[in-house]
Structure 1
Amino acid sequence: SGESFESHWKFFLADASICLLALDADSNDAEAAAKLERLCDRCAFEMKNIFLLSPQSIHRVLETHLDTGERSTTPAPPEHWNSLLDILVLTPDQQARLLFIYDLQCRVSNKIQEERRDLQSKLHEGLELLETDLEQLTRKMHISPECIVIKRLHKVVYRELGIQEIIREYLYGKTLSVLQFAKLVVYSYPYIPDPTAIVAALAERREAVKRKLTGIRRARAEMAHGQDE
């Protein structure tokens, strides 16, 4: 359950924090490093299990403030995740990996959103927008066409959840080191890390750099144009 996961998470935070302090004091502390690796493996295993067995629970805990235990419809501010990027110190290769999966996720999400809008439109406007053969089929089966649309919409929602799981797996399983994962969890407090928000923060940094470079090029072009005159 979500409550059980939160309880285990707090124990992990306490133990991981001790290991990180030990490694800060002595980066060659093999015992602390080994314990931290075991803790991170267990934490990642529990996260994967709860997402697969009860995806609604992981989304509920992502909205929970660990200090107060209260749920909020307002997610952690982007600045919170942006500051974590400075702590993680991602390598250029890690950044490239995450930005690749982010761009892929955006393309897939756009298609899903189009499909969702289409289904919602059909559901809202009524039976006349459904295909004729589908209408005939559902009449024979005595199933309301709206039920077919809702079933499709349900599948779309699970595809969205699947994309988020891919990002989570890619961030935790394919990109971060054990030390980075531990820092991510500890310094995300009082929130549980949101992989989608973290990767989005990295993408926003990329866009900020692009905007800055565009501004520099524009300023240089205007300066050159002024000198020509």
Structure 2
Amino acid sequence: MSSLEREVAEKQAAFAQLTAENEALKRKEKVLEKVLSCRDEQLGMVAALEERCVTRPGWAQQLQLQHQGAGSQTEAASDSAGAGAASSSSSSGGGTAAGAGAGVVVHRSCFGSDAANNVVSGPVEAQEAFRSMKKEQVIPQYKAFLTEVSAALLHCTYPCCDSDNPIVQKVTAAVERMGVLLKHLVLLNSPVMRQLLSLNLETGQPASPPTGHWDVVVASLQLTPQQAADIAAVYELYRGLIAKVYEERRLILTALGHTPSPGGSGLGCSMDGSATSTFLQQLQMQAAGAMGVGGGAGRPLVGGDAREGIERTGLAADMELIDKLSANMDKEHSARTLLCCFFFGKVLAPPQFAKVAVYSYPYFPDSLAVATAVARASGARGGSGSGSLDGSR
């Protein structure tokens, strides 16, 4: 009888384990669905922009006239503005709308919720405005947003999620307006986003948050167990993606004559995205110099264990490596934009997004740093002590 009891107990334990694994897989499936919806939206935005640039009638003629310096540019621009933009639809239900003059494309925003989640990605000129924005233009708008939502949150009692509450409605509207700006900057203007993430917004000087800063931000959110589990799951997904990106980057940098250290801080030697981006720009300038473009041919722009200059005989191979490094940087940016979209748009309610912004100040909300803090608090494997990989501060 005892042997039967042991067998029953073992089978019950095995069943419980399989049930738990099944539930975990279901949660991961839901997380992946949300991540894919983020990617579909981002691809839709980029595709809509590219299609507008290429398919608008009069675009090619205008470009040719500009190149030749002859003809009526005003007439060509009029033809371009009068054409409708190519339509696109996101997986989350965004439709299209063609207006008089320049066409517009409606997408479902990463930020906000439900029907109010639809925002308009305007014509090419609007897209270019986001691409060319400077931090001096963004910071005043962001501070005005903070002033608005912080005043409202003072009068919103926990959990501050009643959609019929006028205060919640006010906060949600403000978050959705700011979300339009931020989601376009994340996707189209990564340089200014890197600047914002590295600044103390009060002083305007480069600074890093103190130890424990993001833990305080996470505590303010009062996340539900489901939210914490979703964030931890997508964080692990991100870590898996970025580990492959960093390994590929290590091989490329080594081939370029560097010995990268995962946690290093030296220019061109760190696996950190911002440092590698600067180093990539230097390599591109050096390659241009080697080809006699822009002067300064042969002058080394980086030192240390880097090669003294790009030799013409090996230029083709070096250019190929530089292209690979650029593509690798794009992969990291893609992973970061997915994490940002998921964290701020698919998990947090608008009042929680407002809290992240308020409690992050004087620093800009860092989705990766906050997700790292959530994963660490949730006991996610590898959630602590991995700054070289996850980029937490």
Alpha-carbon separation, structure 1, partners of 2:209 and 2:247: 27
Deviations 1:162-182 (A, max 9, x none): 111111100111100111111
Deviation of the 1:202 alpha carbon: 1.5
Deviation of the 1:67 alpha carbon: 1.2
The count of residues paired between Structure 1 and Structure 2 equals: 193
If asked which structure has higher relative contact order (CA below 8 Å, sep 6+), I would say 1
Amino acid at match of 1:115: E
129, 133, 139: which one aligns with 1:6: 139
Q: Which has the larger radius of gyration?
A: 2
Alpha-carbon separation, structure 2, partners of 1:40 and 1:156: 32
TM-score, normalised with respect to structure 1: 0.78
2:211 pairs with 1:97: no
Deviation of the 1:189 alpha carbon: 0.8
179, 186, 192: which one aligns with 1:57: 192
Amino acid at match of 1:20: L
Alpha-carbon separation, structure 2, partners of 1:185 and 1:195: 11
Aligned to 2:218: 85
Change over 3 Å in CA distance of 1:208–1:31 after alignment to 2: closer
2:204 pairs with 1:38: no
Within 5 Å, which residues of 2 pair with 1:111-190?
Answer: 111-124=244-257, 144-190=316-362
SS of corresponding position for 2:364: coil
Alpha-carbon separation, structure 2, partners of 1:172 and 1:159: 20
2:238 pairs with 1:66: no
Q: Percent identity?
A: 29
Alpha-carbon separation, structure 1, partners of 2:218 and 2:202: 23
Residues 232 and 380, structure 2, Cα contact 8 Å, conserved in 1: no
Deviation of the 1:207 alpha carbon: 3.4
TM-score, normalised with respect to structure 2: 0.46
SS of corresponding position for 1:144: helix
Change over 3 Å in CA distance of 1:97–1:202 after alignment to 2: same
Aligned to 1:217: none
SS of corresponding position for 1:94: helix
Aligned to 2:90: none
2:381 pairs with 1:206: no
197, 200, 218: which one aligns with 2:369: 197
Alpha-carbon separation, structure 2, partners of 1:206 and 1:37: 27
Change over 3 Å in CA distance of 1:66–1:148 after alignment to 2: same
Deviation of the 1:85 alpha carbon: 1.5
Change over 3 Å in CA distance of 1:76–1:148 after alignment to 2: same
User: Can you give the 5+ residue segments of structure 1 that lack an aligned partner in the other structure?
Assistant: 126-141, 211-229
Amino acid at match of 2:191: Q
Deviations 1:106-148 (A, max 9, x none): 11111111101111111118xxxxxxxxxxxxxxxx9621011
Residues 44 and 172, structure 1, Cα contact 8 Å, conserved in 2: no
2:17 pairs with 1:17: no
Question: Normalized per residue, which structure has more helix?
Answer: 1
Amino acid at match of 1:88: L
